[in-house]
Structure 1
Amino acid sequence: MLEVKNVTVKYGSLTIIDDVSFTLGENQWLMIVGPNGAGKSTVINAISQGAPYTGTILFNGTDISQCKPSKLARNIGVLMQNHYVGYSFTVGEIVRLGRYAYSSGIFGSTSDEDDDLIKDALELTGMSKLADKSVLTLSGGELQRTFLAQLFAQNPQILLLDEPTNHLDLVYQKLVFGLIRDWIDRTGRSVISVVHDLSLARAYGTNAVLMDCGKIVASGTAEEVINQPHLNDVYAMDVGSWMRSMLAQWQ
């Protein structure tokens, strides 16, 4: 479905990611993990065409750098970790914007299919009862669910998620990751997530890429990649012992 081939991002003389290559198949949830400064978010930015890069990124064999923005938005949706909203749109209006890539313009009318997808997205994320509420009054978890609903309404083939539960409490972490897992199971589509929490990455990911200093250290199934030998080298600590010591407090 998606092929990232020898992608490098540089800003001046500084190399952020270096010769990164991986593939994403259908019904996969690929976790990109690694320490701060590894280049994880830059991979997401390159795929979404938000960062200049060399190399090639193919979606179903087509170079996405040659795609029109509207076509790209129909196939790839992006959820960032922070949302800065300074406008009093309602939840429903924000979710409806997910259908913009399919419209004839800003004043284009919505179809029955649009309305059905918007309704389904609100219901799936538990935001139907808040559809008429201003986004300025939402909690962090509600706001993240609103923009996740917008992505579901957008109905892309691939979701790109940059720390989707950053700053959210445990309840919303579980809820958001569960919603994404259900979406994959229901649609057979795929997700790439940047995740700092290794436990969440291991629990929900089917596949993983471990990065350090802009390079891929390991790639494969989540179980193959997110294991003690790889992690100890990258994080320069005994990750397994640390995780077990944290768990021991609850036993």
Structure 2
Amino acid sequence: MIEVRGLTCGYGEKTVLHDINLSVGKGEFFGIIGPNGSGKTTMLRAMTRLIRPAKGTVLLGGIDMKSLHTADVARKIAVVSQSMPLIEMTVREFVLLGRIPYYRKLQFFEKDEDTAIAERVMEMTGIRHLAGAFMSEMSAGEVQLAFIARGLAQEPQVLLLDEPTSHLDITHQAAILDLVKRLNRQEGLTVVIILHDLNLASEYCDRLVLMDGGRIRKVGTPAEVLEYETIEAVYRTVVVVRQNPLSQKPFVMIVSGEVREKCTKGS
């Protein structure tokens, strides 16, 4: 679905990503993990043409994205960013922004079809009862659901999410990721998601790419990527990796400095 070939890019004189080669299959739930500053968000931006590559290409369905019109890209890829400014508009108005890529020239108002799609995606994300509420009045979890609904209103083939669970409690983290997983499985939506929490990434993602210093350290299933030697080398901390007894997925536990000190003295 998305293929990155020999991608090198960054900001101005600063190169952030170095010779990245990566592919995400259709219908896959794909996670991007790595420490702060490792290039995760830059990777996501490159996949949406927000950053122009210095070298390499990004293909969408086998087509070089440089050859696609901006509206065509927006009909195929929706982005849910972690930045959530307070917006003085209702949830319905905000979700309808997702229909802009389908507006025809000189069209200034939504059609009945746009309204119907907005209602449907609000129902799918569980926020239809909030349609008349103002975005600035909602909780962080509700705002994130509205952002996802706006993305779904684009009727995309690919949903890109940049840390959608940041600043949320575990109840809302699970609700958001369960929703995205359900859309992935039931609607065939391809998902590429940045997650800081390694255990959430392990639990929800089919495959992971671990970024380190703007390069790919490892790609594979959670069991293949989340090995303690790899995690310790990349994150420069001591961890213990065990298996979730229910999902059989890896579970990463941090070892505190105090415990490390006790273990060192005990040995």
Deviations 1:13-44 (A, max 9, x none): 42211111110111211111011110100001
Q: Deviations over 1:149-170 (max 9, x none)?
A: 1111211001111101111111
- Give 3-state SS (helix, strand or coil) of 1:243's partner: strand
What is the 5 A alignment of 1:81-96?
81-85=82-86, 87-96=87-96
Match of 1:71 in 2: 72
Q: Distance in 2 between matches of 1:67 and 1:96?
A: 23
Mapped partners of 1:13, 1:149: distance in 2: 36
Amino acid in the other structure paired with 1:189:
L
- Aligned residue for 1:199? 199
Name 1:175's counterpart in structure 2: 175
Report the residue type matching 1:202 in the other structure: S
Q: Match of 1:125?
A: 125
Amino acid in the other structure paired with 1:8: T
Residue 234 of structure 1, CA deviation:
0.7
| Worse-matched range after superposition: 34-43 or 232-241 | 232-241
| 1:32 and 2:32 aligned | yes
For the residue of structure 1 that corresponds to 2:159, the secondary structure is strand
2:33 maps to amino acid: V
The one-letter code sitting in structure 2 at the alignment partner of 1:171 is: T
Aligned length: 244
Matched AA of 1:158: V
Amino acid at match of 1:67: L
The Cα shift of 1:195 comes to: 0.7
The answer to whether the aligner puts 1:243 opposite 2:253 as a matched pair is yes
Normalising to structure 2: TM-score of the pair?
0.86
CA distance in 2 between counterparts of 1:47 and 1:244 reads 32
Check 1:107–1:214 CA distance in 2 against 1; reply closer, same or farther (3 A cut): same
Query: For 1:129-176, what per-residue CA distance to the aligned partner results, in whole angstroms no more than 9, with x for missing partners?
Result: 110111111111111111111111211001111101111111111110
Partner of 1:187: 187
| More displaced 10-residue stretch of structure 1: 197-206 or 10-19 | 10-19
Moved more, 98-107 or 157-166: 98-107
Change (3 A) 1:232 1:244: closer
Deviation at 1:245, TM superposition (A): 5.8
**Cα displacement (A) at 1:111:** 4.0
Measured in 2, the distance between the counterparts of 1:208 and 1:110 equals: 40
Q: Which amino acid aligns with 1:56?
A: T
Aligned counterpart, 1:224 = 224
TM-score (norm: length of structure 1): 0.92
Q: Is the 8 A contact 2:121 2:152 kept in 1?
A: yes
Q: CA deviation at 1:12?
A: 4.1
The residue type equivalent to 2:229 in the other structure is: P
Q: Residue 31 of structure 1 contacts residue 222 of structure 1 at CA under 8 Å; is this kept in 2?
A: no
Q: Is the 8 A contact 2:58 2:65 kept in 1?
A: yes
- 2:51 corresponds to: 51
Any unmatched runs of 5+ in structure 1? 247-251
Q: Give, in whole Å, the separation in 1 of the partners of 2:69 and 2:3.
A: 18
Contact 1:208 1:219 in 2 (8 A): yes
Kept in 2: contact 1:91–1:146 (CA 8 A): yes
Q: Any idea what SS the aligned residue of 2:72 has?
A: helix
2:239 and 2:255 in contact (8 A); partners too: no
User: Contact 1:56–1:63 at 8 Å: present in 2 too?
Assistant: yes
Tell me if 1:136 matches 2:146: no
Matched letter for residue 205 of structure 1: C
Give the Cα separation in 2 of the matches to 1:240 and 1:233: 13
Unaligned runs of 5+ in 2: 242-251, 257-267
